[in-house]
Structure formats: structure tokens, C-alpha cells
Amino acid sequence: MRHDTSLGAVCSQLLSAEDLQISEKVVKALSAGPIVTQIVIMQRQAAIRIYSNQQLLLSDITPILHDFAFVVVDEVTYTVPADARVIYVCRFNLQIDDLQAFKKAKHNIEMVMTDSLLGKTFSSCHIYSLVYKQNLTLRQVTLLRAFIEFINQAVASINFDTILHTVTRYDQLSNLLLHYFSARFKPDVEERKSQVSEIEALIEEAVKAVPDIVDDRILKLLVAMLRSIVRTNYFLEREAIAFKLDMAAFSEHLVGIQPRIEAFVYHYDFRGLHLRMGPISRGGLRWSERYDDYRSEIRSLMLTQEGKNAIIIPDGAKGGFVIDRPKQEITAELFTAVYSRFIDSLLDLIDSVEGESIQRDARIVAYDDEDTYFVVAADKGTARMSDTANAIARKRGYWLGDAFASGGSNGYDHKALG
């Protein structure tokens, strides 16, 4: 038996007529943005087609597919002419174990895949598998990533990869933690108290069934952390996700003297936190380069500041952030954008004052008392940023205005003012 080895015959095995047809919707989308992802579902297989205006590298695409936990059967890259230009196409044929889950998550997979290739997400991470397994949005997996990062920084005896393994292994329970978070903080939730209690009971039962002692500990830490959160800006739809914790209860899981109030900020470009020993505290913000243990650095500096502040005001504070970009890519513009987003995120968690009334965004659900006194100062790497911080405070209508960040051009000095 002779096989047809002509070029046309070989090409027909690689590409179908459908592969060479690009819809007007995709062409239009590529006029607005450089990359479009499209999923095609067949009987027992699925294909992901990635359309782009410029050729993409397989080395950039395949790690993301791996993070989704996809099994790639084969791949073909080709070009299609459209409207006097060339469109690049990468098609990946996938072997899908749970076709129903894949169909359900189709839209979110397409969106997250595109955003990942555009660099609008955090670095490669297996938490993307929850987009497929639990139909989570990019924002939801980013929130889970923020939880993992907080525990990783706060609890020295557990590392990031171990926490991530637990979160992805128990994907249904991780989704339940997100529901718990939403029940507590989503605005306008009806019968909030009963919803929270119901989900708490489900989580408790699910954790009881976990056989591994390490997984059990991590899941209990996540639950304790969620119970300690008193505010979040998550439902303000900001790019950076921030939450504030009352550390009184959570500190029992930690070693050494801990802050009373902690704010954590997560963005795909940076991570940061602010620690306060009390509601009336003062201390600087620094640009840290200790990516693995920046919380340890900042906590140590907060304790030092606590001693320095003994003759000024009762309590010390310290904040800082790391920028998740190579040093050579951190321009003045990027640094200002990161610093500004960090300041904005921290102020999302703080009340303001107007006359005799407390001002708070109506979408913020707060479980703590009024929190109106929040000031910052320059520190390592932020010496020239006080004017930027004060400009943000004024724009937001924060009651301290130019007294928010000391060291600005208007010359407010918190030490002198007491």
C-alpha cells in the first residue's frame, strides 16, 4: 500500500480547513490588541488557538499551558493572510480528562491565557490549574496567590511551593475559601452572618477529611488568616489587591513579637505590606530587595521604630515593598507607578474624616473600629517620594493632606508636631 507523501497530503494532516479560517471577531479583536486566545472543543479533545500580530515563542507559551495542568498532544504554528496582513497562529491539541469542567471554564481559560501572554499576570504558577478545575477568574486566582504569599512571608516554617501544592491539591476547598471571603466582604450580601456560618461549617468538615498533617496545617493557617482579615479593597476592583488583618488572633501561629495591625498588598508587579504596633503609629516605607523574606526585614525595622517612637508617640510602624521585575527594567516611571499603587492600596483600607463624620467607601465591609490615623515617612529607596504620597492623599480627600507623608516639600514634621 502506497502512502501519499505529497506536500498537500502532509499539510492536510496538520491543518484542517477550519484552521485556516479566521473569524471576523478574531480579526477585529487583533486590531484592538496583539493576542487573542480561542478554544475549540471536539469530542474527546480540545484545541487552543492563539492568534497574534507577531510571532510568539513556544518557550513563552508552553510553561503557561503546563501551569494549567494541560496535557499537550501536539502543536502546529502557521500563518494566515487577513486584510492585507499576516496573522500568526499557534494551535495546541490537548488531551482533556474532564471535558465538562473544561467547557465550563472555557471563557476564563481564554482570558487568563491571553493576559498571561501579555504579561498582565504574576509569573508562571501552577495555581492557574484552578482556572480549569474550578472555573476561577484571573482575579480569583490572584487573590489566592495573595493569600499564599502572605502565609509564605508570615510563617517561616512553610515555604511558598508547599502552600501552593496544598491549595492546588484541594481545589474544591480552595474555592470554598474564596466563597467564605466573598460572604464576609462582598458588598450588599443578604443574610451575611448566616452565609458566613454556613460556609465556615462546610470548610471545617472539609478540613477534617484532609489526611496529610502538612496540608491540614496549611489549610488551618489559611482559615485563621481569613478570619483575621478585617478589611479588603478586593471589591473596589483595583489592580492591586489589599487586605488588612487584626493580628491579635493570628499571631498565635507566628514566632516573636508581631504587629497589632497589618496590611498586605499584592500586584503582579510588586508585593508589599505595612505593619503597625497600634492604631496611632508612625514609620517609614522602604523599597526592599529581600524578595524571600521582606516581611522579616520590615518587622525587625518596625520593632526598632517602636523603640525610637517611645518619646514621640506610643507606637512604631514600618512598611515596604519588593518590585518583581529585573533591576534593569525598573525605570523611574515604573517605580513611581508601583509606589503610587502601593500608597493608594494602603489608603483603601483607612478611614478619612470630614468635619465630625467618618468617611469610608460604601463598598468596604469593615470588621474593625474606625481607623483614621495613618501616616508614612521616607525610608531606603523612597527618599524623594513624600510629595507623591501627599498628592495621592490630597486627591483622595484624605483628611491629613500634606501631613500624610513627612519629608515633603511643604515641610510637615511628625516628630516636631508630635
Q: Is 318 a catalytic residue?
A: yes
Do 164 and 104 form a contact (C-beta atoms < 8 A)?
A: no
Would you call 336 helix, strand, or coil by DSSP? helix
Closest of 368, 379, 372, 382 to residue 404, by C-alpha: 372
Q: How far apart are CA 132 and CA 162, in angstroms?
A: 21
Do 353 and 399 form a contact (C-beta atoms < 8 A)?
A: yes
Catalytic residue among 318, 327, 380, 415: 318
Q: 189 vs 120, 179, 193, 194, 389, CA distance in Å? A: 30, 12, 9, 11, 34
How do strand 315-323 and strand 352-354 relate by DSSP bridges?
Answer: unpaired
Which string of DSSP letters, residue by residue, matches 348-397?
Answer: HTS-EEETTEEE--TT----S-------EE--TT-TT-HHHHHHHHHHHT
Give the H/E segment covering residue 173: helix 171-185
Cell of 4: 501519499
Active site residues: 318
